[in-house]
Structure 1
Amino acid sequence: MGLLADWQQQQTLLLLWPYRDDVWRLQGRPAQQQLRQLVQLAAPYCNILVGCHPTQLEHARTQLPATVEVLALNYDDAWARDITPLYTASQWGGSEQLFAHGFQFTAWHGLYPDFQQDQAFAKQLARRLCQRFIGHDLVLEGGAITTDGAGTAIVHQASVQRNNPQWTLVAIEAYLKQQLQLQQIVWLRWANPLDETGGHVDNHAQFIAPDTLVTSLPQPSSPWYQHYAAQLEQLRQLTNVCGEPYHILVLPQPAAIVPEPDEFASIRRQPGVKVRGTTPLLASYVNLVNLTQCMLVPQFGLPSDAEALQIMQQWAGKRPVLAAAADEFIKAGGGLHCMTATIPT
């Protein structure tokens, strides 16, 4: 089968408890509240696992529903998508075997200096879950790749090349194809300048079914309209490994959100850690969470929130599409998809 898509492995949704006072405002309390809301929305539709740093374990347990499993795990920040293993499935000895792939991590090219626990997270989690683990030398964050689960992956070239300057693009492509059992890789080359990861696919395009991609397009007045339009055209020309085109859903792309500096006054200034509240915030409806039994669409308190929900509900049919607040997550640089990871357990 190769690299698994979210819908192929969705037994458990993993989230990590935010707590850093040099990244999250007000010691992380508003983000913790938003994470609780996300847990409550998703819990009726899937198993939930919340990883919590040991220093925060007792506090998190008092804040989360008693029915939610809380597991002590070591990590530096709460972006589960980028530090959790990628999973492949292979036929081995007459049965399907699951492999957890852990890639290198450098805190998005150095947004904070203390990322050693994040770097070790994938291996730690795989061991706790008794999964076969394969470690890799390549730097690759989970938000930089999306797959249709049938041999095709879209990868963001900008961040992957920036994080691996010693690798050629040809070498990276060959390595990913071999290790993740992919037949074709499609590279996205333009990243929104506000994306502090340097370019993640989950802010631009995401597979939500074997034959369906979701992407976004801003208003023509946007300074980045031509870049988004060119990316949309690239995706429309894309075919799967059988030569069949994908169905493309186009969501609105919000304008940059200008932060209120006073909101970030409580964040502790730490040498080497990105200063928050000084640059516009990137919001993306593409950064959604696609569960088997429901879909969680990010909401930012914008007029376009309702349009994004409506588009996804029309596509999903009878499957519930739920509005999930994400305005607090983007203040720390991420979104719903960034805060979650699907894990086979």
Structure 2
Amino acid sequence: MMTPRRQPAEWAHHDAVWIGWPSAADLWEDNLGPARAEVEDFVRGILFPGGDGSDIRGERVNLVYRGAEAKSAAEIMRGRLPDPSLLALYEAPLGDIWLRDTGPVFATSETGELVASAFRFNGWGGKYQLPSDNKIADEIAGHANVRLRRFDDFTGEGGALEVDGEGTLITTRQCLLNKNRNPNMSEKDVEAVMKSALGIEKTIWLDEGLVGDHTDGHVDNIARFIAPGKVVCMHPFGDDDPNAKVLSAIEATLRQATDANGRKLEVITLPSPGRIEIDGEPAAASHMNFYIANHSVVIPVYGVLSGDSAPGIEAVEILKSALDRPHFIAVDSSHILTGGGSFHCISQQQPTV
């Protein structure tokens, strides 16, 4: 019998965070350099949350890259850091930077050992299948020296799974019950996998995610736990917000939900970024795609694309009053968004045990 395991909440202490480094020039084209600059700002927000002159140091950053050119660019970036020793570089057969989805999900065993779970990955329902993306979880687990258990009878991604560390999961039917992932699975079937892989006792099912989200409704774009019994989601911003109906439905569902311990959720809303377009179509821009580091929260904003900083400023201020961290850092993620995600999507925390 396999040892029970549980994924800690993101606000639990981390030994490190694994982050994908934009490496594929053919995928990023003109956005390659600007996306790398945004990743550098993300890294700085984790490593030096009080500013470069502060004595505070965050968790170690393990940056995953592919190829000689990407390595050279990453080394140059590392050399600009006040303390380059805090950033480690790992070469891997990286398809693209979305390690939240392709990498392992770290958990703890019943005996307190750090372990990891991984699921079958099919390119977000067959949309973007890149060479070796299905090998990254094994690579990172090997570098982290943890025992990996694969759940290859289930197709899913880390960005579809939001946990409170106490046995509660939030996810969406649009993603995990999609015919392009698990066509023969019911909610109960998925819940059984989640119990074995992450120690989930209670699943809160939302229906749909954001318009324009090629992940088919990843939950880390729409609802996040920030403490036991406390969750944040978004309310619409602007009269032309393409997600107004979806966001209202998400909030209503969460306000009726209880967690694994029977608590009714406290629901806090932030403004969405509003209508942001890429190539004339609504993009899945979200203030929910923040990363909770040991000493900071790094929040994506989209001033380059939207030209309106107001919703991002308000979102940061609300998070400051709701989430227990000393530093909150807003970083523009407009160029990473052209690839389909933001900071949470490209990162995976390695918890302390």
TM-score (norm 2): 0.86
Rounded Cα–Cα distance in structure 2 between residues aligned with 1:23 and 1:280: 20
Which of these residues, 77, 100, 108, is aligned with residue 63 of structure 1? 77
Secondary structure, in 3 states, of the residue corresponding to 2:345?
A: helix
TM-score (norm 1): 0.88
Hey, what does 1:331 align to over in structure 2?
Answer: 338
Displacement of 1:54: 3.4
| Off by >6 Å, runs of 4+ in structure 1 | none
Which of these residues, 102, 116, 121, is aligned with residue 100 of structure 1? 116
Rounded Cα–Cα distance in structure 1 between residues aligned with 2:331 and 2:287: 11
Displacement of 1:91: 2.1
Rounded Cα–Cα distance in structure 1 between residues aligned with 2:46 and 2:197: 32
Displacement of 1:145: 0.5
Hey, what does 2:29 align to over in structure 1?
Answer: 25
Hey, what does 1:263 align to over in structure 2?
Answer: none
Rounded Cα–Cα distance in structure 1 between residues aligned with 2:250 and 2:275: 18
CA contact (8 A) 1:218 1:252 kept: yes
CA displacement, residues 39-64 of structure 1 (integer Å, 9 cap, x when unaligned): 12211222111111133223321222
CA displacement, residues 238-257 of structure 1 (integer Å, 9 cap, x when unaligned): 11222112222201012221
CA contact (8 A) 1:123 1:133 kept: yes
Displacement of 1:258: 2.1
RMSD, aligned α-carbons: 1.9
Hey, what does 2:53 align to over in structure 1?
Answer: none
Q: How does 1:186-225 map to 2 (within 5 A)?
A: 186-219=204-237, 221=239, 222-225=241-244
Deviates more, 1:330-339 or 1:4-13: 4-13
CA displacement, residues 98-130 of structure 1 (integer Å, 9 cap, x when unaligned): 22101111111223232x411111111111221
CA displacement, residues 30-88 of structure 1 (integer Å, 9 cap, x when unaligned): 11111111112211222111111133223321222333211112210001111121122
1:246 counterpart = 2:265: yes
CA contact (8 A) 2:107 2:351 kept: no
Unaligned runs of 5+ in 2: 49-57
Displacement of 1:216: 0.3
1:161 counterpart = 2:177: yes
CA contact (8 A) 1:17 1:52 kept: yes
Aligned residue pair count: 324
Rounded Cα–Cα distance in structure 1 between residues aligned with 2:31 and 2:25: 5
Q: Alpha carbons of 1:232 and 1:30: their partners in 2 closer, same or farther (altered >3 Å)?
A: same
CA displacement, residues 232-286 of structure 1 (integer Å, 9 cap, x when unaligned): 0111111122211222220101222123xxxxxxxxxxxxxxxxx3532221101
Hey, what does 2:51 align to over in structure 1?
Answer: none
Deviates more, 1:222-231 or 1:179-188: 222-231
Secondary structure, in 3 states, of the residue corresponding to 1:6?
A: coil
CA contact (8 A) 2:47 2:61 kept: yes
1:126 counterpart = 2:141: yes
CA contact (8 A) 1:100 1:131 kept: yes
Letter in 2 for 1:34: E
Rounded Cα–Cα distance in structure 1 between residues aligned with 2:297 and 2:242: 30
The percent of aligned pairs where both chains have the same amino acid is: 27
Q: Alpha carbons of 1:17 and 1:219: their partners in 2 closer, same or farther (altered >3 Å)?
A: closer
